[in-house]
Structure 1
Amino acid sequence: MTEWLTRDEALERLNVRPQTLYAYVSRGRIGMKPDGADPRRSQYRADDIAALATRRDRGRSPQAIAESAIAWGEPAIPTSISTVLHGRLIYRGKDAVELSATATLEETAGLLWASDRPVSFASLTSSAARQSGTPTAFARLSALAAEGWSSLGRRPAMLQQDGAAATSALATALGASPGHEPVHIRLAQGWSVEAPGADLIRKALVLLADHELNASTFAARVAASTGAPVAACLLAGLATLTGPRHGGAGAAAITLVEDAERLGPDEAIARWLAHDRPLPSFGHPLYPEGDPRAQALLPDLEIDDGIVHLRDAVFAMTGLHPNIDFALAAMTRSLSLPADAPFRLFALGRSVGWTAHAVEQVTSNRPIRPRARYDGPISAG
């Protein structure tokens, strides 16, 4: 549960004057709510205060600031696309969970791209002439990247068209049937999933569309800062997504579920932890009280006993909540999707965010070129 502090406790931990505390609140850096026991008083979010205190303790040297931005630290790149704020995922001011109740991926792209026209991922690629899967996705994006125009000096609307074409190619490469229907319907057709399952796919794609400055999005922005074609930016994102600490977490979650069914949840969890392996699909640094994306998906799924027993055992042993990777693993089993469906859903949904960030990076006209802090030897003379 979130811890809340009184005004005096907050002032003591921060060692600031009341005016400074109120300034932090007005800027959205510290959450505040009325005190339930006395509505005339306020309480302040302890996590926000701890984060501010940590930043101050690091000092303001350029080296300390730069190092703190690398891993879950200080915000490093300005964006108006998405953020995580007090446990909520926000897409351009809209709650992503609320949006996922009805929106399609195409509508979400229109929002994240700030497009002034409807977005379509239609594709008439012949199903007889295509294969689907990760290798095909890389091949399609590589071909588009090789043929693409530089993103520099072009209007955002033209870059968005490139992004839509790349996402359309990615969709068919990952298993969507050809057609003009929304991409979640075509993906369900390609995977032989009925209408209720198609709606779950829609919801998952919307929830996966963006997640602030994650590793694959950062890679896409770095590529965009060089003027690379939009398809090349998506290719950079896709390559980064293949890592087991990012898009590969869904496959690891399925492995953990299978271990739990074979060994029993307690034994499986103990073995993972004994080998100093973090439990895949549980916990998230940005969501200490639980990933809202998982909380939005899981109630709509018919979860089998293996998934339920694992979820309950992990919480009992670690206090960790399931995250979006767990929900994708549960969805894969519930709908009998392809084994690598978590990765495919992640790649397709996140291509919308990669495009949004690529366009924003190009139009900002700012290079991304950090310096390294060298700690190796230097030869004499």
Structure 2
Amino acid sequence: MWLSAADALARLGSKPQSLYANVSRGRIRAKPDPSDSRRSLYREEDVDRVAHRSRGRRSAVATASEAISWGEPVLASAISTVSGGRLYYRGKDATELAEDATLEDIAELLWGTPYRSSGQPIEAQPSIQTLLSALAARISDDPSSAGRGTVLLREDALSVFATALSALAGRGQGPAHIQLAAAFGRPDAADALRRALVLLADHELNASTFAARVTVSTGAALSAGALAGLAALGGPRHGNAAPEVLALAEDIDAHPEAAEEALRDWLGERRAVPGFGHPLYPRGDIRCRALLAAIDLPPAFVRLAEAGRAILDEEPNVDFALAVLASAYDLPREAPATIFALARSVGWLAHGIEQATSGQLIRPRARYVGPPIVTAS
């Protein structure tokens, strides 16, 4: 399963710099060598896949097809990137920003305009459903993004974010993390929430962001892009995995002596184990480490992390950290999804501005694999 550097280089037929570049880009997963912490081991299947790709010139069809699933970058963006196992917002390390920045600070950085409150409070119970309804209600009235100047697009972003904040946190005052902590009834969680919001604000071309960019590329309003992003965020493979992590931790909490057995039960039921591993972070999700550094882990999560490392050979990811945050501060069950949606709305709007100003339509081609085409004789 794991190869030494020498074995990996032999299979790749390349120089060490090429191996390290593939690791930093997430193409080859790596982990410290248990017998020598100064060395690394490399995932065999990743090495073989990269070696196969490098043999001969690959067709444009094959390259494009593989790019859809954790492959090569498919469009240019100046907003964020993951490089060398770290996340950067416009060239600035997100984990360093998370030490003292607010979500509003990140909005200023990603949108390129000073943040100010905009819009009217929403008279409804704060929830994801309230945000879905509020964004849907805006679409028919909001201006098309097509041909709209950058200044006006930034004004649109401020207004859409105000809708998101009001729909998810209610009629509070102050920065987003203060309002969210008040909405949850947990003022002591404010700083941890601030850190989580900053770390989740953007993550290059993830599924929800791609959905938002595709929508805005048609000329739809920024609110329509945010609505598309929110819809994509709802799946357990993207922004809604934390509830399953909480459920697994509860299983372990009920039987603290059998954490690994509980994990094996999940695997035996063919259920994907949530909260572990990330293709872009072969040495562990840096966002998870940065968030957990500010939270005392409940015992069930300590046991879950140890069991995950032992059985899956993977480190916890940011979904695990969100579940820890919710458990440690006794937040409502829907809190992780709310945190994720509010934070990522900043990223969706940044990408919407960038996509609209490019003037390009995102329209990939499909590789047809259906029945043979019958032509007219």
**Under a length normalisation based on structure 1, what TM-score does the superposition of the two structures give?**
0.85
Q: Superposition pairs for residues 228-307 of structure 1, below 5 Å?
A: 228-263=220-255, 264-307=258-301
Q: Secondary structure at the match of 2:324?
A: helix
CA pair 123-308 structure 1, distance change in 2 beyond 3 A: farther
2:327 is the alignment partner of 1:329? no
Name the residue aligned to 1:118: 114
Deviation at 1:297, TM superposition (A): 0.9
Q: Secondary structure at the match of 2:87?
A: strand
Matched pairs, number:
356
Name the residue aligned to 2:71: 73
Please, which runs of 5 or more residues in structure 1 have no aligned partner? 32-42
2:84 is the alignment partner of 1:86? yes
Q: Secondary structure at the match of 1:89?
A: strand
**Equivalent in 38, 57, 60 of residue 58 of structure 2:** 60
- C-alpha contact 1:176 1:188 (8 A) present in aligned 2: no
Deviation at 1:50, TM superposition (A): 7.0
Q: Superposition pairs for residues 161-180 of structure 1, below 5 Å?
A: 161-179=155-173
Q: Secondary structure at the match of 2:81?
A: strand
The share of aligned pairs that are identical, in percent, is 44
Deviation at 1:219, TM superposition (A): 0.2
2:150 is the alignment partner of 1:192? no
- C-alpha contact 2:125 2:170 (8 A) present in aligned 1: no
Q: Deviations over 1:4-41 (max 9, x none)?
A: 847x985x55546x7xx87x699x7776xxxxxxxxxx
Q: Deviations over 1:52-109 (max 9, x none)?
A: 5454248420111111111001111111111111110111111100011011111101
Q: Secondary structure at the match of 1:171?
A: helix
CA pair 130-292 structure 1, distance change in 2 beyond 3 A: same
2:360 is the alignment partner of 1:366? yes
- C-alpha contact 2:103 2:194 (8 A) present in aligned 1: yes
For residues 51 and 203 of structure 2, what CA distance do their matches in structure 1 show? 25
For residues 250 and 94 of structure 1, what CA distance do their matches in structure 2 show? 27
Q: Deviations over 1:273-312 (max 9, x none)?
A: 1122221011111112111111011121122211211111
Q: Secondary structure at the match of 2:140?
A: helix
Q: Secondary structure at the match of 2:270?
A: coil
- C-alpha contact 1:101 1:203 (8 A) present in aligned 2: yes
CA pair 371-165 structure 1, distance change in 2 beyond 3 A: same
- C-alpha contact 1:291 1:322 (8 A) present in aligned 2: yes
Higher relative contact order (CA 8 A, sep 6+): 2
The range that moved more, 370-379 or 289-298, is 370-379
Please report the RMSD computed on the Cα atoms of aligned residues, expressed in angstroms: 2.7
Q: Deviations over 1:209-239 (max 9, x none)?
A: 0001100000001001101000000000000
- C-alpha contact 1:106 1:121 (8 A) present in aligned 2: no
Give the letter for the 1:306 counterpart.
A
The range that moved more, 53-62 or 330-339, is 53-62
Q: Secondary structure at the match of 1:83?
A: strand
For residues 272 and 76 of structure 2, what CA distance do their matches in structure 1 show? 31
- C-alpha contact 1:30 1:44 (8 A) present in aligned 2: no
For residues 365 and 45 of structure 1, what CA distance do their matches in structure 2 show? 44
Q: Deviations over 1:182-206 (max 9, x none)?
A: 1111111111222x41111111000
For residues 324 and 230 of structure 2, what CA distance do their matches in structure 1 show? 23
Deviation at 1:49, TM superposition (A): 7.8
CA pair 123-150 structure 1, distance change in 2 beyond 3 A: closer
- C-alpha contact 1:197 1:335 (8 A) present in aligned 2: yes
Give the letter for the 2:97 counterpart.
L
Give the letter for the 1:197 counterpart.
A
Give the letter for the 1:71 counterpart.
S
Name the residue aligned to 2:128: 134
Please, which runs of 5 or more residues in structure 2 have no aligned partner? 25-38
**Equivalent in 339, 350, 355 of residue 345 of structure 1:** 339
For residues 45 and 319 of structure 1, what CA distance do their matches in structure 2 show? 12
Name the residue aligned to 2:309: 315
Name the residue aligned to 1:36: none
Name the residue aligned to 2:95: 97
Q: Secondary structure at the match of 1:174?
A: helix
The range that moved more, 355-364 or 259-268, is 259-268
